[in-house]
Amino acid sequence: VPESPSQRVGAPVEGGFKTVKHSIPMLSLENGFSDKEVMEFEERIKRLLTRLGWANHISYAVEPKMDGLAIELIYENGILKTASTRGDGYTGEDITSNIKTIKSIPLRLLPPGYDQDLPEHLEVRGEVYMEQKAFQQLNKEREKQGEAPFANPRNAAAGSVRQLDPRITARRPLLFFSYGTGEISGWTFTSHIELLTTLNKWGLRVNTHYIKECKSIDEAIAHCRYLESIKHDLPYEIDGAVIKVNSTDLQKALGEKSRSPRWALAYKFEPTQATTKITKIDVQVGRTGALTPVALLEQVEVGGVRISRATLHNQEEIERKDIREGDTVIVQRAGDVIPEVVKVIKAKRTGKEKQFIMPDRCPVCGSELIPPGDEVVLRCSNPGCSAQVTGGIKHFVSKDAMDIDGLGDKLVDQLVRLRRIKDAADIYHLSLEDLIALDKMAEKSANNILNAIKESKNTTLAKFIYSLGIRHVGEHVAMVLAEQFRRFDSLQKASREELLSIQEIGPEIADSILSYFSNEENISFINHLFEAGITIEEMPLEKAPLKEHPFSGKSFVLTGILSALTRSEAKKFIEEKKGKVSTSISTKTDYLVSGKSPGSKLAKAKDLGVTILSEEEFLRTLGER
Active-site amino acid positions: 65
Can you point out the beta strands (E) in 502-610? 535-536, 555-559, 580-582, 591-594
Q: What's the gap between Cα 157 and its chain centre?
A: 12
Three-class SS of residue 275? strand
Contact between 267 and 241 (Cβ < 8 Å): yes
Beta strand 60-66 with 91-93: parallel, antiparallel or unpaired? unpaired
Phi, psi of 362 (to 5 degrees): -60, 125
Contact between 165 and 12 (Cβ < 8 Å): yes
Cα separation, 578 vs 558, whole angstroms:
16
Q: What's the sign of the alpha-carbon dihedral 620, 622, 624, 625?
A: negative
Cα separation, 492 vs 466, whole angstroms:
14
Three-class SS of residue 80? strand
Contact between 617 and 597 (Cβ < 8 Å): no
Beta strand 273-285 with 328-334: parallel, antiparallel or unpaired? antiparallel
Three-class SS of residue 476? helix
DSSP 9-67: S-PPPSSSPPEEE-SS------EE-SHHHHHHHHHHHHHHHHHTT--S---EEEEEEE-
DSSP letter for 216, please: S
Q: How distant, in Å, are the alpha carbons of 217, 238, 598 from that of 192? A: 16, 20, 34
User: 10 Å Cβ neighbour count for 540?
Assistant: 8
Cα separation, 200 vs 121, whole angstroms:
17
Cα separation, 488 vs 483, whole angstroms:
11
Contact between 563 and 320 (Cβ < 8 Å): no
Q: What's the sign of the alpha-carbon dihedral 267, 206, 106, 108?
A: negative
Using only C-alpha atoms, the chain has a radius of gyration, in whole angstroms, of: 25
DSSP letter for 282, please: E
Burial code (b: 16+ CB inside 10 Å, e: under 16) for 354-365 equals: eebebeeebbbb
Cα separation, 410 vs 425, whole angstroms:
18
Phi, psi of 217 (to 5 degrees): -70, -30
Burial code (b: 16+ CB inside 10 Å, e: under 16) for 194-231 equals: ebbebbeebebebbeeebbbbeebeebbebbeebbeeb
